Amino acid sequence: MRSPSTFASFPDTELEAIYEELVREFVTYQTNVALRAISRFPNVDLAMIYIEQPDGSEHQFLAIDPRQATNPSDPNSIGQNQDPAKLARYRGYIATAYQVANQAVQRVINAVGTDANGVPNSNILVVSDHGFDPFHTAVNANAFLTANGFDTTRVRAVASGPAVNFYINLQGREPNGTVTRMEYLALQQQLFNALQNLHRREPELHERRNSGLRQNLHATGAGRHQRSAVRAANQRIHRTGFRRCLRDDAHRLQLRRRANAGCDSPR
């Protein structure tokens, strides 16, 4: 996250302290809202409560991979050059996030009461809508297409958060479609093969195969209106602390016109 200019001169530790205060205050507010609703409508069959932690803190502070730069303006602050003091602080912030979430759940349990064995009088389910992995590298998907010889009038990339969808411009389905049904499957396979062969390189760290690629293909209807949605994880940004989106320059993978190769370069 690029910090507003108002906070540009603040040291990281002060920005982190501000965020930590917001973590505690906002979860308290969310829990108060939930408990007020429960007290007003005690006989409802289902009450759904959203607690923002640990999601928010893990977006900001989940730094568990050596490929994550602890200084987003310094591409060399990875691996052995990561800041150990900052990593230690980040681990503490994640722990705090789980603690405040746990306290929020306990307040809900206290509100509904427990029996003699300490079992809540109501069924309380704690669930998550997703897990977490560290982000460290971004891929310019349209540069990838160009570098691998794909015509962008035939296939295009559309980013959606940390993923990218590739859409084939199929005739009869897309406006001004350019790909015939005879060409569709071959082009789809070419795209998937290119994604499978996508490699990444970073200074001082060994080359690793991008394991986040997934192929999600489906066909519907008698006319076989087929849709290609190939998702690649870790497409958007790496999370490098409180200012996580800022200048992921040296970690943005700009693919050059080489055979399935990439190199780090500024956005």
| One domain for residues 9 and 102 | yes
Residue 202: inside a domain? yes
Q: Per residue in 74-130, pLDDT tens?
A: 889 999 999 999 999 999 999 999 999 999 999 999 999 999 999 999 999 999 988
Q: Does 47 share its domain with 95?
A: yes
Q: H helices then E strands: how many in the chain?
A: 5, 9
Q: Does residue 51 sit in the same domain as residue 108?
A: yes
In a domain, 212, yes or no: yes
Task: Write down the pLDDT at residue 16.
Answer: 93
Same-domain status, 103 and 156: no
pLDDT at 202 over 90: no
DSSP string for residues in 27-90: HHHHHHHHHHHHHHSTT-S-------TTHHHHHHH---STTS-SSTT-TT-SGGGS-HHHHHHH
- Beta pairing class for 225-232 and 205-209: unpaired
Tell me whether residue 211 is in a domain: yes
End-to-end CA distance of the chain: 15
Which of 223, 148, 239, 147 is CA-nearest to residue 184? 223
Residues 142 and 232 in one domain: yes
**pTM of this structure:** 0.62
Could you tell me the residue range of the domain that residue 100 belongs to?
5-112
Q: Is residue 72, in this structure, part of any structural domain at all?
A: yes
- Domain match, 40 and 92 both: yes
> Across all residues in the chain, what is the average pLDDT?
76
Handedness of CA 146, 263, 254, 196 (dihedral sign): positive
| 196 within domain boundaries | yes
pLDDT tier for residue 163 given thresholds of 50, 70 and 90: confident
Per the document, the length of the chain is: 267
Tell whether 153 and 85 lie within a shared domain.
no
User: 179 and 102 share a domain?
Assistant: no
- Percent of the chain at pLDDT > 90 equals 54
54 cis-preceded (ω within 30 degrees of 0): yes
Q: Is residue 123 part of a domain?
A: no
pLDDT, one tens digit per residue, over 35-80 is 999 999 989 999 999 999 999 999 999 999 999 999 878 889 999 9
Of 20, 24, 16, 22, nearest to 103 by C-alpha is: 24
Helix spans in the chain (H): 12-40, 55-61, 84-112, 141-147, 181-196
For residues 3-25, give the mean pLDDT.
85
Chain centroid, CA 257 distance in Å: 28
Domain contains 257 = no
Q: Based on the domain organization, do 83 and 167 belong to the same domain?
A: no
Least confident residue range of 20-34, 54-68, 134-148: 134-148
Number of domains in the chain: 2
Please give the average per-residue pLDDT across 2-18, as a whole number. Answer: 78
Distance CA 195, CA 184 (A): 17
